[in-house]
Amino acid sequence: MFTFSVLFGVMMPAHVVYVQAARQPYDVHKIIDAFRTPNDDLKILCAHRGLRWNGTAENSRDSYFRASEADIECIETDIHLSLDGQLPMTHDHGLGRTTDIGEMTGQAAYNPYTAEGFNPKVGGYNFTGLGGIEQLRLRDEQGRVRDEYVPTLPQMIESIFDSGMNVVLQLDFKDETAIEPAYWALKHLTNRAGVPANEWCIYKLQSVWYQTPEVFEALPWVQDAFRSGIKLAFIPVYDPEYVGIFDQMASAKLFSQTNYTISLEVELRNVGGPIQDILDYTRDKSSPIRTAGTFFAGGDFTFPNTDKLTFFDTANYSLPADLHVNNSLYTYVENKAPMLLDAQVGNSSSDGHDYRSDFNWIIEQGYQWIIADTADGWHSRLEKQGLRNVSRLIADGRRVVDGTLAKTWYKRSVWWSAFA
């Protein structure tokens, strides 16, 4: 009989990995189905770079465990390609903000607020070997160095296997050249339930890279997936920034008819703005694709709750007490004074606003899935609104998620503080 359990892993000498992840009894194929199929009582949530606050570094194992413990079924995550062809999971093109490369190389640590310090490109480094990325520790969002190292995508998949987590990933490739190596690296990996990683790691690709199914299906790795019977999960990202570059609506219609496109990401900034037609298409009952997702823009690398604890020197930059002004939100912008999201929206919006920082607005647009920095907060809010019936995601024969597990996840920070 299935019982909920908390796994206690081992402390390994080189890389200290302490696995203490509650695993919800989700079936990853059901999660993928919930991307495809609109449900009136369930919005899908993707934790943006994992749950990465309060001392947990983004794209770290800990951020994954926390997401899983908070019942979150999807993690949106970032992939780069290192010089030696490995797949380090970092967001920025530079290593400065998210690792201790400054300290490790005897140079000034990078400060994202001022752009001072050492911030070399990920792609200029080997992952393995002396001076490799694998020796770098991760920094949390407040700039503190944690006792955790930069993982590669396959290593993260192995951690998911080891801890028995049942999550799907949205792979956000920061570098187009990392896509094919990721496919081959994942080909023989599975989660604990034995499901191939290439069926629950969603290839979420910028639509501008492969604009039609014809181009996409000609890729050697996509052909290999077809030949091998792997059910790829693909989401093309449509964005107002690509207006004028190619016909996104035509692209969306073609991809919608394929067996591997599970949903569309439609980064609409306001009602009636550029690419509204694509969102409308997903709402049309006769269209082959009936779901869309978006990003909840809540500010990039600083969260107001923890802002006053920031260890980075914010120099003369600070956030105003009230972040919400004119239906917009103040956020830190790398190397610049905090700015309203609206100040960055340009002609991606037809009324000058970026509404993606407005929870209610996103729900009103009928999005089926949302990428959010604060996925745990969204989970509780949506639950109250009857929009988080996660029992739809539970594996057959398993029992309903035990919500009390979600309340235990701060315990880990006690452990971290002993090592910080």
Contacts to ligand NAG from residues 143-202, by CB under 6 A: none
Whichever of 45 and 340 has its CB closer to ligand NAG, that residue is 340
Q: Enumerate residues 6+ apart whose C-beta is below 8 A from 317.
A: 113, 332, 336, 337, 338
Two structure tokens written together for 193:
């339930």
Least distance CB 415 / ligand NAG (angstroms) = 15
**What whole-number distance in Å separates Cα of residue 42 and Cα of residue 393?**
10
Interface with ligand NAG, residue 385, by CB under 6 A: no
Q: How many residues does the chain have?
A: 420
Whichever of 10 and 223 has its CB closer to ligand NAG, that residue is 223
Interface with ligand NAG, residue 226, by CB under 6 A: yes
Of 89, 299, 311, give the one whose Cα is nearest residue 182. Answer: 89
Interface with ligand NAG, residue 400, by CB under 6 A: no
Whichever of 13 and 321 has its CB closer to ligand NAG, that residue is 321
Least distance CB 268 / ligand NAG (angstroms) = 14
Q: Enumerate residues 6+ apart whose C-beta is below 8 A from 407.
A: none
**What whole-number distance in Å separates Cα of residue 296 and Cα of residue 359?**
7
Least distance CB 107 / ligand NAG (angstroms) = 16
Considering CB under 6 A, how many residues would be counted as binding ligand NAG? 27
> What is the contact mask toward ligand NAG in residues 313 to 342, using x (rule: CB under 6 A)?
--xx--------xx----------x--x--
Sheet holding 336-340, edge to edge: 324-325, 328-333, 336-340
> What is the contact mask toward ligand NAG in residues 76 to 95, using x (rule: CB under 6 A)?
-------xx-----------
**What whole-number distance in Å separates Cα of residue 411 and Cα of residue 226?**
44
**What whole-number distance in Å separates Cα of residue 393 and Cα of residue 36?**
13
Interface with ligand NAG, residue 53, by CB under 6 A: yes
> What is the contact mask toward ligand NAG in residues 273 to 312, using x (rule: CB under 6 A)?
------------------------------x-x-------
